[in-house]
A = this chain, B = another copy of it.
C-alpha cells in the first residue's frame, strides 16, 4: 500500500470505533464531521494529499526497495547526510503547508517510530524486552502509512519532588496484571495531542521512572477496548477562516488518556517491567536526535511565519520607522537565524550511530530546544505589542456582509490595505497570539520537550565542559583535575 492520501486517512479513521468523550458526551458518528475535529482532519488529509502532489511527490516519498510503492519519507531510515537533508526538505513541505502550527503533523510520530526501530537492537536479549515487536510495528506503519500520537506525561496530582503515588487504585498508568494474551494497563496519562484522532497510540515512559510497573512501552490501535480519550474544550473559534484563520484549520485537540484495564497483546509490547531498559532506551536510542530534528525544522518554519506576519502588521499600520519596532523585528530575525544555524549544524555534525544510521548531532538541537521555549512566547508578545489596541476591536466576516460594510471600509482601512485585508491580517495576529488556540500554541512550544528548567539542567550536565576547564587550569598553571 505505502503512502496514503487524504481520503484514505479520513476513511480509515471514520471506520474506527474509538471512545472519545467531549463535553460530557461520547462522540457518535463520523469523527471527520464533528465540529471540533473537522478542520484539523481536513488539514491532515491535505498533508497526506501532498504525498501525491505532482510538484513535490518525489520530495515527499521514496520508493520501497521491496514493493516499489511510494513510502512517506518520514519513514526513511537515514544513512547519509543527504538522507537527513531529504528528510528535512519533506518536513519543511508539511510545516510550510500549516505554518508550523501542527505539533503532530504525521512526520513527528513517523519519525519517532522510525527512530525506535532504528535503535531496537538496544533491547536485544534484555529481560522483558521485545525489540522484534518494535521492528514489526515500524514495518506495518511504513507499509500502511499509519497515523500515530503518543502519550507520556503522568497526571499532575502532586509535583513535589518527594511525592510517591500511594493511591489504592493506580493513578499513573501501570501494568496491573498480565496473562497469556498480554499485559493489562490501568491508570491514566495526562495528555495526548490528537488523542483519538490517529490510527494508533504509542505509550511509553520518560526516563526517570522508578516504579517497575510504569516501565513499559507499546503501541495499540486507538479503538482498543478500555481505552478512553477525554477531550478538553475545543478551541475551534468557528468555521470561518476569515474570523479564525488558524483555529478553524489547525486546532489539534488534547485529551486525557484513560486505560481502563486495557489489554496490550504480547506482540505489541516493546518492553515492560524493566526500569533500566526504559531509562536506557530513551537516553541512548536515536529518538531525541531524530525527533528534535523534526521539531526544530517545524519551529524554523513557524518562526518564518511569525516574521512574515510581524512585518506585514508593521507595514499595514506603517510603523517601520520606529526604533523600538525595528528592535522587536530584529529580535525575531535573530531567533530565526539562530534556529536555522543550529539546525544546519546538527546536520553538518551528524554521525553514523552504532547501528549505521545517520544521527543528527544532538547538541545544537538541545540548544535550540532550550532556546525556543523562551523566544516563542516573546515572539507572541512582540506581535501583540505591534498590533497594540488594533488587536482588540476586530469585526467579523459577517460584519463585512452587512449594512455597516461602508463604515468598516472607511474606518478600518490600513496604510496600504483595504479594511477587509487589514482585518484579516489583524485577526490572524490575534488568532496566533491571543485566542485560546494561540495561547495553547504558546504553552505547547514552552513545554514541548518538558520543563524548561529541567531542560537547562540537562544541557548543563551533559555538555562537555572539561576541555574548557582545562584551558583555564593551564592558563593559571593549576592541575586540571583537582
The reply to whether B191 and A475 form a contact with Cβ atoms under 8 Å apart is no
Q: How far is the CA of A393 from the CA of B229 in the complex (A)?
A: 11
**Contacts A21-B404, A245-B476 given; does A389 touch B156 at CB 8 Å:** yes
Q: Does A161 contact B (CB under 8 A)?
A: yes
A436 CB contact (under 8 Å) in B256, B393, B434:
B434
1/0 per residue, CB under 8 A from B, across A449-482: the answer is 0010100110111010101111111011011001
Q: Does A56 contact B (CB under 8 A)?
A: no
Q: How far is the CA of A326 from the CA of B458 in the complex (A)?
A: 9
A47 CB, min distance to chain B CBs, angstroms: 15
**Contacts A254-B393, A340-B345, A469-B308 given; does A317 touch B24 at CB 8 Å:** no
**Contacts A171-B410, A334-B371, A457-B330 given; does A308 touch B232 at CB 8 Å:** no
Q: Does A443 contact B (CB under 8 A)?
A: yes
A393 CB, min distance to chain B CBs, angstroms: 5
1/0 per residue, CB under 8 A from B, across A426-444: the answer is 0010000111101110111
User: Chain B residues with Cβ under 8 A from A164's Cβ?
Assistant: none
**Contacts A190-B393, A318-B163, A395-B230 given; does A312 touch B345 at CB 8 Å:** no
1/0 per residue, CB under 8 A from B, across A374-408: the answer is 00010001001100111111111111111110011
Q: Does A51 contact B (CB under 8 A)?
A: no
Q: How far is the CA of A156 from the CA of B411 in the complex (A)?
A: 8
Q: How far is the CA of A412 from the CA of B390 in the complex (A)?
A: 39
Interface size class, chain A: 35 or more
The reply to whether A308 and B472 form a contact with Cβ atoms under 8 Å apart is yes
User: Chain B residues with Cβ under 8 A from A309's Cβ?
Assistant: 472
B-binding segment of A70-78, A265-273, A415-423: A415-423
The reply to whether A315 and B469 form a contact with Cβ atoms under 8 Å apart is yes
**Contacts A404-B21, A421-B478 given; does A342 touch B333 at CB 8 Å:** no
A329 CB contact (under 8 Å) in B342, B397, B460:
B460
User: Chain B residues with Cβ under 8 A from A421's Cβ?
Assistant: 476, 478-479, 482
Q: How far is the CA of A162 from the CA of B171 in the complex (A)?
A: 34
Nearest B residue to A412 via CB reads: B155
A433 CB contact (under 8 Å) in B156, B307, B439:
B439
The reply to whether B392 and A191 form a contact with Cβ atoms under 8 Å apart is yes
Q: Does A93 contact B (CB under 8 A)?
A: no
User: Chain B residues with Cβ under 8 A from A384's Cβ?
Assistant: 439, 442-443, 446
User: Chain B residues with Cβ under 8 A from A167's Cβ?
Assistant: 410
Q: Does A304 contact B (CB under 8 A)?
A: yes
User: Chain B residues with Cβ under 8 A from A478's Cβ?
Assistant: 417, 421, 424-425
The reply to whether A476 and B428 form a contact with Cβ atoms under 8 Å apart is yes
Q: How far is the CA of A371 from the CA of B333 in the complex (A)?
A: 11
Q: How far is the CA of A34 from the CA of B26 in the complex (A)?
A: 30
Contacts A171-B410, A256-B411 known; 15 new A-B pairs at CB < 8 A: A21-B402, A23-B398, A23-B399, A159-B318, A159-B319, A228-B404, A260-B407, A307-B465, A308-B465, A333-B463, A392-B440, A424-B476, A425-B472, A428-B472, A435-B439
Give chain A's interface residues, CB within 8 Å of chain B: 21, 23-26, 96, 99, 153, 155-163, 167, 169, 171, 187-188, 190-191, 228, 230-233, 237, 243, 245, 254-256, 258, 260, 304-305, 307-309, 311-312, 315-319, 321-324, 326-327, 329-331, 333-334, 337-338, 340-342, 344-345, 348, 363-364, 367, 370-371, 377, 381, 384-385, 388-404, 407-408, 410-417, 421, 424-425, 428, 433-436, 438-440, 442-444, 446-447, 451, 453, 456-457, 459-461, 463, 465, 467-473, 475-476, 478-479, 482
| Cross-chain pairs A/B with CB under 8 angstroms, 23 sampled | A23-B396, A155-B411, A156-B388, A156-B390, A159-B319, A160-B318, A254-B392, A255-B393, A256-B407, A260-B407, A304-B468, A308-B467, A308-B471, A308-B472, A333-B463, A338-B342, A338-B367, A384-B443, A421-B478, A425-B478, A434-B436, A434-B439, A436-B436
